[in-house]
Amino acid sequence: MVPQIKTFEEYKEQYELSVNDPEAFWGNIAENFEWKKKWNSVLEWNFSAPDIKWFNGGKLNITENCLDRHQAARKNQTAIIWEPNDANDAARHITYGELFLYVQQFANVLLAQDVKKGDRVCIYLPMIPEAAVAMLACARIGAIHSVVFAGFSAQSLADRINDASCKLLITADSMMRGEKKIDLKKIADDAMLTTPGINKCIVFNHKSSPVQMKPERDLWLHELLSKVNSTHTAEVMESEDPLFILYTSGSTGKPKGVLHTTAGYMVYSAYTFKNVFQYKDQDVFCCTADVGWVTGHTYIVYGPLLNGAVTLMFEGIPTYPDPGRFWNIIEKHKVNIFYTAPTAIRSLQLYGLQPVKGKDLSSLKVLGSVGEPINEEAWQWYHKNIGNGNCPIVDTWWQTETGGILISPLAHITPLKPAFATLPLPGIQPVLVDQKGNEITGNGVEGNLCIKFPWPGIARSLYGNHERFRTTYFSTYQNKYFTGDGCKRDEDGYYRITGRVDDVINVSGHRIGTGEVEDAIDEHNCVIESAVVAYPHEVKGQALYAFVICDRDIHNKEAVYLQIKNHVAKVIGPFARPDKIQIVKALPKTRSGKIMRRILRKIAEGDITNLGDISTLLDPAVVDAIVAGAAGLNEKNS
Ligand code: PRX
Give the tens place of pLDDT for each residue, 524-572: 999 999 999 999 999 999 999 999 999 999 999 999 999 999 999 999 9
CA–CA dist 266, 415 (Å, integer): 28
Q: Which atom of ligand 1 approaches the CA of 484 most closely?
A: 16
pLDDT tens digits, 18-53: 999 999 999 999 999 999 999 999 999 999 999 999
pLDDT, residue 638, reads 53
Q: Which atom of ligand 1 approaches the CA of 500 most closely?
A: 1
How many Cβ atoms from other residues are within 10 Å of residue 471's Cβ?
A: 12
Pocket flag, ligand 1, residue 370 (CB < 6 Å): yes
Given a cut of 70, whether residue 595 has pLDDT beyond it is: yes
What is the distance in A from the centroid of ligand 1 to the CA of 213? 39
pLDDT tens digits, 312-353: 999 999 999 999 999 999 999 999 999 999 999 999 999 999
Q: Are 266 and 302 in contact (CB under 8 A)?
A: yes
Collapsed DSSP state (helix, strand, coil) of residue 24? helix
Poorest-confidence range of 107-116, 210-219, 620-629?
620-629
> In 3D, which of 630, 637, 636, 578 has the Cα closest to residue 603?
630
What is the distance in A from the centroid of ligand 1 to the CA of 509? 7
pLDDT tens digits, 499-521: 999 999 999 989 999 999 999 99
N-to-C CA span, the chain: 54
Residue 606 is given by DSSP the state T
Pocket flag, ligand 1, residue 341 (CB < 6 Å): no
What is the distance in A from the centroid of ligand 1 to the CA of 397? 6
pLDDT tens digits, 87-138: 999 999 999 999 999 999 999 999 999 999 999 999 999 999 999 999 999 9
Pocket flag, ligand 1, residue 500 (CB < 6 Å): yes
pLDDT, residue 171, reads 98
Given a cut of 70, whether residue 177 has pLDDT beyond it is: yes
How many Cβ atoms from other residues are within 10 Å of residue 71's Cβ?
A: 11
Beta strands in 517-569 (DSSP E): 527-537, 541-550
In Å, how far from its chain's centre is CA 235?
Answer: 27
Q: Whose CA is nearest to atom 6 of ligand 1?
A: 399
pLDDT, residue 247, reads 98
Q: Whose CA is nearest to atom 18 of ligand 1?
A: 371
In Å, how far from its chain's centre is CA 321?
Answer: 25
pLDDT tens digits, 279-315: 999 999 999 999 999 999 999 999 999 999 999 999 9
pLDDT, residue 615, reads 84
* pLDDT band per the 50, 70, 90 thresholds, residue 490: very high
What is the distance in A from the centroid of ligand 1 to the CA of 102? 33
CA–CA dist 24, 361 (Å, integer): 41
How many Cβ atoms from other residues are within 10 Å of residue 325's Cβ?
A: 21
Pocket flag, ligand 1, residue 399 (CB < 6 Å): yes
Given a cut of 60, whether residue 162 has pLDDT beyond it is: yes
Those residues whose C-beta lies under 8 Å from the C-beta of residue 51, and which sit 6 or more positions away, are 44, 45
pTM of the model: 0.96
pLDDT, residue 609, reads 87
pLDDT, residue 581, reads 97
Q: Which atom of ligand 1 approaches the CA of 400 most closely?
A: 9
pLDDT, residue 213, reads 98
Collapsed DSSP state (helix, strand, coil) of residue 309? coil
What is the distance in A from the centroid of ligand 1 to the CA of 445? 21
How many Cβ atoms from other residues are within 10 Å of residue 194's Cβ?
A: 14
Please state, in angstroms and as integers, the Cα–Cα distance from residue 30 to each residue in 20, 54, 192, following that order.
Answer: 18, 10, 41
pLDDT, residue 634, reads 64
Q: Whose CA is nearest to atom 8 of ligand 1?
A: 399
Q: What counts of helices (H) and strands (E) characterise the chain? A: 20, 31
Given a cut of 70, whether residue 467 has pLDDT beyond it is: yes
Given a cut of 90, whether residue 610 has pLDDT beyond it is: no
What is the distance in A from the centroid of ligand 1 to the CA of 399? 5
pLDDT, residue 253, reads 78
What is the distance in A from the centroid of ligand 1 to the CA of 316? 22
Beta strands in 68-210 (DSSP E): 78-83, 92-95, 120-124, 144-147, 168-172, 175-177, 180-182, 200-204
Those residues whose C-beta lies under 8 Å from the C-beta of residue 56, and which sit 6 or more positions away, are 39, 40, 41, 44, 239, 240
In Å, how far from its chain's centre is CA 122?
Answer: 16
What is the distance in A from the centroid of ligand 1 to the CA of 258? 15
Given a cut of 90, whether residue 139 has pLDDT beyond it is: yes
What is the distance in A from the centroid of ligand 1 to the CA of 372? 5
What one-letter code names the amino acid at 156?
S
pLDDT, residue 508, reads 92
Pocket flag, ligand 1, residue 63 (CB < 6 Å): no
Pocket flag, ligand 1, residue 484 (CB < 6 Å): yes
Question: To the nearest whole percent, how much of the chain has pLDDT over 90?
Answer: 94
CA–CA dist 599, 608 (Å, integer): 9
Largest CA distance in the chain: 74
Q: Whose CA is nearest to atom 25 of ligand 1?
A: 397
Quick one: 97 exposed, middle or buried, by C-beta within 10 A (0-12, 13-18, 19+)? Answer: middle
Q: What is the CA radius of gyration of the chain?
A: 24
Pocket flag, ligand 1, residue 508 (CB < 6 Å): no
pLDDT tens digits, 182-200: 999 999 999 999 999 999 9
State the chain's mean pLDDT as an integer. Answer: 96
Given a cut of 90, whether residue 635 has pLDDT beyond it is: no
